Chains A and B, each alone.
Chain A
């Protein structure tokens, strides 16, 4: 056990949050699931399936925030296009789920999804082939975002496009994809996207047990990705990434091929976003081009900013808090949400540059001055 703890805590000081984080995350997940399964519906502690799905959605967002934080917080690359990777992963999963509908669609065609029958298509486009295999679809869910990130990153980082330019380019990327996926000719369901899913791997998507399984899988994967990311970022590779964030030219002059580090980190981040998207779609039951919209991508950035960039746990906390606030706000007074979100953008950047984790750090330093001094040394 002590070796396990040591493995978790190796590296940078923030690594010591890892074990508690994983324990709390999995604990809450299991408790919520148990409360849903074993408690009667009228019990005070009962957790409804709706809440379970909502929590699963939040965890997907948390994973996405992790992806954004890895490149923004640790490498200083502000991507305003991570929604694109998320949506691509989601579409891969959506295509698999679409093929699983089989002949139970409205038109009852055994091969073609409903929207293709509607558009009078005669055969399946080539990029839909093989998507009825779960393993292949999941491979695509990580491969397509990864490949896009590789091509884009390779082009951008090699020509040293940095800072604001890069942010605008990533935004243009997701905007171009948004326009493309809105087209019916693309073969992804156009405006309506993919929906009306029936089952995943033979399990009905409507049943409570499937939903809880998806929720638990999301939590497990989030934990795994969290730990792996922590390990990567506290490794030698991660340290180079940090130097790139703080002084890119200097790192380059010392002899590191900074563009390669950036490309691989960008690909890693995109893959995580793709996984998050693939987990998100079966839980919400729809994927449409709206996920590509630049506003979505920029909202992810604010989750990270609120939680505190440069700390993985901050990204997760930020995503959970902001999305919880969003759910509550949009239920009580829908008009106020955009005001609140806008104000959050302004206030966090002005007054909380390090987010909530920064506030936590300040408080800790205030009340336990000796400890803080030690960790600085």
Chain B
């Protein structure tokens, strides 16, 4: 408020200054009057203050209501008392700055009685309910739901018809309905209408109020309240289902990110890369290092981390392909062992450089928090973004494989290596690029995973088996199959969890896949035609 006043002064020049000054001095005079005022005079002073300062007076009223308002005997300045680890301290009421060196005997409490408390409560509600911002008004109404009384209802009834914002009006209607429903002396028909209104809400307070109504004397009311509760429970159940579905999709997106690089190296190239998990880990550590380099720009660091992780993991992939995998062409089991050795080396390398402990990667502010749809359903933003990101990466990859010349070469080499070679495709180069692409995408997955789990040397190991399961389940060499498999497994796991517990759910899914592969060894979407063996 002070800044605002200062700003006004700057803008309008000295002309407006005397008026503001007069206003300020009147308020100051009221503050001084408040210190040491008699109880019967206080209400008048408070009314004047409310009128003069509006929303800005709220902190003072709250402190006074809590019985923590004191004034300094020497200069009659107002201070708020608060406790800090057992010590009694005092601070300015309006800007929370500590007032140092105040002992108990320097200050005197401003006392309030029940009548004043009632006034203050109503005043706070009144001020909040008439606040400029609709969101403040709405949260004020929701706060009132649990402590409705006759006087606040009067205020609400006053404000209800003129409320411009639809959501706030709805909330106010809800509060009024709650009050109406609980008044036993009102006509039953009115109360039934009110209960009808209540049945559309998911608020906890509403549910409590309805539960109370099931103890009512009137059987019609009891029946209506029970019906309303049931209706609410059913809606809540539906939202709980959506919530579970969201978590399933979120797990699916993580699985998709982790396995999509593998779908290329294993699915398209037919190379078993046991170091795939370590490519993910390298991506996560790249995110960590990028944040170390630019600690003041955490919000933007992720945009640097994504390409950086792609490059780091991709180059490592190319290196592995050139040095090891190339020499083991056509010997899948040996490739498996050699890449496993590489994964051990990479893990130990990271352990030596960064220590075996988990590293903390901070979440950019725009990714933290959650999107609250209603009182029972809120979706965490980082999971939402990662879901979108996974789909984006998937689409980008499909486009690369279907529309670019690299993609054409990759498909040609994977279908018939010798023929492609005869047609002039540089198969060696294509192999390296494909492997680099798969590994690079694993690196990007690492960036996403660093936002969800701990970044440590074992990060990749946790995902390698799941990733292989996803690729095998979806059908090797089939990107769409990988997508379907990832989300199927994610959702299945999350829907099993409430009944079986997390670990048993993971085991059941694994066993299911093992059995599934026995039945359909080529996965959900087997390759057809010449590409199949």
Contact = CB atoms under 8 A, between A and B. Distances in A.
Contacts of A159: 517-519, 521
A349 B521 contact: no
Instruction: Say whether chain A's binding surface is mostly helix, strand, loop, or mixed.
Output: helix
A350 interface: yes
Contacts of B253: none
- On chain B, which size bracket covers the interface? 35 or more
A305 B338 CA distance: 11
B511 A161 contact: no
Interface string A161-190: 101110111011101100110110000000
A127 interface: no
B503 A349 contact: no
A225 interface: no
A27 B348 CA distance: 39
B465 A294 contact: yes
Interface in A324-377: 335, 338-339, 341-346, 348-350, 353
B527 to A, nearest CB: 14
A87 interface: no
A97 interface: no
Interface in B498-518: 503-504, 506-507, 510-511, 513-515, 517-518
Given A346-B324, A349-B338, A165 B472 contact: yes
A346 B344 CA distance: 10
B272 A164 contact: yes
A180 B345 CA distance: 28
B274 to A, nearest CB: 8
Contact of A161 (B332, B342, B521): B521
Contacts of B518: 155-156, 158-159, 161
B351 A353 contact: no
B347 interface: yes
A338 B344 contact: yes
B290 to A, nearest CB: 26
A302 interface: yes
Contacts of A343: 341, 345
A301 B503 contact: no
B341 A345 contact: yes
Contact of B334 (A171, A335, A353): A353
In this complex, the member of B327, B347, B504, B517 whose beta carbon has the largest number of chain A beta carbons within 10 angstroms is B517
Contact of A338 (B345, B465, B503, B521): B345
A180 B503 contact: yes
A179 B344 contact: no
Contacts of B348: 335, 338-339, 342
A78 interface: yes
Contacts of B461: 295
A160 B335 CA distance: 21
B52 interface: no
B344 A172 contact: no
Interface in B459-518: 461, 465, 468-469, 472, 503-504, 506-507, 510-511, 513-515, 517-518
A302 B521 contact: no
A264 B517 CA distance: 21
Contacts of B327: 350
Contacts of A221: none
A144 interface: no
Interface string A265-294: 000000000000000000000000000001
B352 interface: yes
B503 A179 contact: yes
B341 A167 contact: no
A237 B316 CA distance: 46
Contacts of B507: 176, 179-180
Interface string A124-160: 0000000000000000000000000000100110111
Interface in B25-70: none
A298 interface: yes
B399 interface: no
In this complex, the member of A155, A158, A161, A345 whose beta carbon has the largest number of chain B beta carbons within 10 angstroms is A345
A78 B336 contact: yes
A128 B515 CA distance: 28
Contacts of A338: 344-345, 347-348, 351
Interface string B318-351: 0000001001100011111110111111011101
A175 B341 contact: no
Interface in A60-96: 78
A335 B465 CA distance: 25
B352 A349 contact: no
Contact of B517 (A169, A180, A342, A346): A169
A345 B472 contact: no
Nearest to A305: B337
A247 B504 CA distance: 40
Contacts of A152: 514
A350 B342 CA distance: 12
8 contacts: A164-B272, A164-B336, A165-B521, A172-B465, A172-B513, A179-B503, A338-B347, A339-B348
Interface of A: 78, 152, 155-156, 158-161, 163-165, 167-169, 171-173, 175-176, 179-180, 182-183, 294-295, 298, 301-302, 305, 335, 338-339, 341-346, 348-350, 353
Closest 6 CB pairs between A and B? A345-B341, A342-B344, A342-B345, A338-B348, A176-B510, A155-B518
